[in-house]
Amino acid sequence: MSTLHLVALAPFIMAIFIPFFYFKFRHIHTGWFILPLPLILFIYLIQYLPLGGGPMETVERSVPWVPSLDIHFTVFLDGLSLLFALLITGIGTLVVLYSIYYIANKKEEPLNNFYVYLMMFMGAMLGVVLSDNLIVIYVFWELTSLASSLLIAYWFHKEKSRYGAQKSMLITVTGGFAMLAGFSLLYMMTGTFSIREIITYGDAIVTSPLFLPAMILILLGAFTKSAQFPFHIWLPDAMEAPTPVSAYLHSATMVKAGIYLVARFTPVFGGAPEWFWIITGFGLFTLLWGSVSAVRQKDLKGILAFSTVSQLGLIMSLLGLGSAAVHFDVVDGQSLYTVAVLAAVLHLINHATFKGSLFMVVGIIDHETGTRDIRKLGGLMTIMPVTFTISLIGIASMAGLPPFNGFLSKEMFFTGTLNSTTLDIFNVQTLGVIFPAVAWIASIFTFVYCMIMLFKTFTGKHHPERLEKEAHEAPAGMLISPVILASLVIIFGFFPNLLAYTIIDPAMQSILPGLLEPGEQFYVNIYHWHGLNTELFMTMGVVFFGSMIFLNLRKWQETTFYLKERDPLNWFYDSGLVGLIKGSTVVNDVQMTGRLRDYFTYMFTFLVLGMGYMLWNTGALAVDMANTADISIYMYIITLSLVLATVVIPFVSSRISAIVLMGVIGFLVALLFVVFRAPDLALTQLLVETVMVVLFLLVFYHLPELKKETFKPAFRLTNLVISIGVGLVVTLTALSAHALSYENPISPISDYFVENAYALAGGNNIVNVILVDFRGLDTLLEVLVLGIVGLAVVVLIKFKAKKGEDV
């Protein structure tokens, strides 16, 4: 157990003590007790940054958990883990601070729940990014899903919260399971759960037939978590969560877990065309879909949700493009494709900063005006100047305008997609034009929704009568966190190279290991002015066309495209869920009729099919009459009478006749025993049959007059078919067993009994000696069965429940 293990576990330990803080110190907001923890973790993690220059030292600490299954809680800290851990703890600190003022009503809100879930989430998230063992990652991964659902349903009395929580749970857990299956396949291929060891098996994995299934399953996990198309539908509904949760989980951390996973597995799968195409394709489509959907949202958080979807698609597509670098030589730490990875890492940081601040700003607007609907808001610029400033910075960065950090990553994004047109592998050369085109169109829509968000909220006429509260500026405490994030947006915008060799380069080295000689570093130089190149003209085009669309907003405002807010894909989810429930009800109703005869039909059908298939498939069907004994004439007579009595039974209409016929069968069987020289059996059979007939008559005497049941011909036909089938299969099995017993002769054990019955047990009646001596235990237990049945009959008859009495 090292300090790094404690980093991941500290939030869980904290979660245990939160109810104590909450109930013992009611007058202090519980959030204040939480606040130091993420801050301490953040400061602790900073010391791992290579601040003095040079490559980052990786750290590995291992604690066995289930060593017999190769499951160790191994903490591995490299550039990528550190980047994510810093995001989680850093934004976590700000979010906790923000939540203290956001959920200010400490009397009525169950704060202990909130912070327990939040700490649980933070610990789980740190566990995901710090772990090296796949199973441990999976455990923490599911914990994030769980904590996320709990947080979404924090106001569980609201219908929509529960709906959103259930939706996100179902979708992310489905992906999680798929991911677990993918991990298992990886284990089958490599024999280890450690990611770093798996990376060393690179070639073996790529050539394995399990490569594609494993990759797709793991990507399912990543795509569901990161809200990629078509799994993004849970994210907009997760906006029912308190805003700090949305800011933390649904912009900065949890949705990036999928990004982390993809980045983590780039060294394993990267370089394969399937990986490149799936990630880039889905990423770009998500980018486009998210940005177009965001334009038509009326709820500020809805816009931000789809904006998050779109930006995650952007990062994902960049990771896909960057994976091509694994395929190519990298010269001097610089290649066309590493730029894409650089852009992905940079945008990851940028997105966390500006999206976090924007969510907080929206929370402030909601808090101070009582609504998030852009149709009710307006003219808040002069009323909430600080909020406006922060929003302006965040939105400008999101739209990709200079001099903010969004501009840098957007330029690099364009560079990355433009580079892809020069790719000559993966059959890209013809389709490559699509990449920058889609990216460019998506950027235009991004610009449009940014404009809508800014101008609809802050400019225009103020309508106090539409708002639930009187609008005013937020308290200072609430503004601290967004101000810090907005300052970061500006700082990273003006001094992007602060990050270059401290965090971006180590992260890139984790995503693309093995491309550089030891000691080398990727060439990271981020600057605003690239000269008059294509990217700049593309950005100008984005601004121009985006403004045009926004200025003509009124023209297409009335179209159904704009009016319909909900994502059409929700239809699939909702009707799928309803259909699933309806479908299972229908199946259940069809199958579970509650009638015994139906269940017997199932059982016998499967008996016939199963045994018939086995006989046919294993070649066990063998009918051989060569070794049968001679049949004497009286055997024919007995058997014929037996068959006659049996065949007549179904056609008999009175019960008494049926009983008598059963008795006839019983006595004929006794006769068969006699013929086959089994006197004990014959005696027993005779007596048992007699007693049975007496009992039957007694019982039937007591039976009420029942209505005679008439069955449909179809039902009778089914019965006939099934009974013939059962008879046939059993007969064939018996015949086959007989025939095969001559092929595989087994000496019967009865020889031993015959020889030793008198010598060992002192009896000449072998049957009886076997019953009481050799196999006495069976007899003992059979007698026990008799006794239990007798007592059961007594209980059934003498201790009947009276009317209205429940058991």
Partner 1 sequence: MKNTPVQLHVITRIVAFIILAFSVFLFFAGHNNPGGGFIGGLMTAAALVLLYLSFDLKTIKRVIPFNYSKIIGAGLLIAILTGIVGMLFGFPFLTQFDEYYHIPLLGETHAASALPFDLGIYLVVVGFTLLVILTVAEDDS
| Contact set with partner 1 (CB under 8 A) | 679-680, 683-684, 687-688, 690-691, 694-695, 698-699, 702, 761-765, 767-769, 771-773, 776-777, 779-780, 783-784, 786-787, 789-791, 793-794, 797-798, 800
Task: Tell me the closest approach of the beta carbon of residue 794 to partner 1, in angstroms.
Answer: 5
Helical axes 257-269 vs 273-295, angle rounded to 10°:
160
- Give Cβ neighbours of residue 715 (< 8 Å, ≥ 6 apart): none
Instruction: Compute the distance between CA of residue 432 and CA of residue 425 in angstroms, rounded to an integer.
Output: 11
Residue 380 CB neighbours (<10 A): 23
Q: 3-state DSSP call for residue 523? A: coil
Q: Are 122 and 151 in contact (CB under 8 A)?
A: no
CB of 769 to partner 1, least distance (A): 7
- The smaller minimum CB distance to partner 1, of residues 147 and 769, is found at 769
| Least CB distance to partner 1 at residue 158 (A) | 57
CB of 667 to partner 1, least distance (A): 15
Task: Report the nearest approach of partner 1 to the CB of residue 666 (Å).
Answer: 13
**Shortest CB 758 distance to partner 1, Å:** 9
| Unique residue bearing structure tokens 């017999």 | 68
Contacts of 403 (CB under 8 A, 6+ apart): 490, 493, 494, 528
Q: How far apart (Å, rounded) are the C-alpha atoms in residues 685 and 562? A: 85
Residue 473 to residue 470: CA distance in whole angstroms: 10
Q: Closest approach of Cβ 683 to partner 1, in Å?
A: 5
Q: How buried is 535 (Cβ within 10 angstroms: 0-12 exposed, 13-18 middle, 19+ buried)?
A: buried
Q: What is the rounded CA–CA span in Å between residue 205 and residue 222?
A: 19
In DSSP terms, which residues pair with 77 in a beta bridge?
A: 59
Q: What distances in angstroms separate CA 623 from CA 329, 399, 741, 747, one per listed residue? A: 70, 81, 11, 21
Nearer residue to partner 1 within complex by CB, 735 or 767? 767
User: To the nearest whole angstrom, how small is the minimum distance from the Cβ of residue 685 to partner 1?
Assistant: 10
The whole-angstrom separation of Cα 803 and Cα 469 is 64
Q: Please, which residues have CB within 8 angstroms of residue 367's CB and are 6 or more apart in sequence? A: 102, 243, 474, 478
> What's the closest the beta carbon of residue 124 comes to partner 1, in angstroms?
56
70 vs 773 by CB, closer to partner 1 = 773
Q: Which residues of 77-101 are buried (b: 16+ CB within 10 A; e: fewer)?
A: bbbbbbbbbbbbbbbbbbbbbbbbb
Q: How far is the CB of 771 from partner 1 (least distance, A)?
A: 7
Nearer to partner 1, 58 or 690 (CB): 690
Provide the minimum distance between the beta carbon of 772 and partner 1 in the complex, in angstroms, as a whole number: 4
Nearer to partner 1 by Cβ, of 639 and 684: the residue is: 684
Nearer to partner 1, 695 or 720 (CB): 695
Closest CA to 37 of 113, 141, 116: 116
Q: What is the CA radius of gyration of the chain?
A: 38
The smaller minimum CB distance to partner 1, of residues 532 and 777, is found at: 777
Q: Token pair for residue 393?
A: 């910075």
Neighbouring C-alpha atoms within 13 Å toward the C-beta of 457: 32
User: Residue 698 or 746: which CB sits closer to partner 1?
Assistant: 698
Residue with tokens 């909220």: 457
Least Å from the CB of residue 633 to partner 1 = 26
Residue 694 in tokens: 């007496």
Please say which residue, 687 or 730, places its beta carbon nearer to partner 1: 687
Report the residue number, 212 or 686, with the smaller CB distance to partner 1: 686
Residue 514 vs 787, nearer CB to partner 1: 787
- Measured from the CB atom, the residue of 408 and 769 that comes closer to partner 1 is 769
For 36, phi then psi, to 5°, come to -60, -30
Q: What token pair was written down for 538?
A: 């593309």
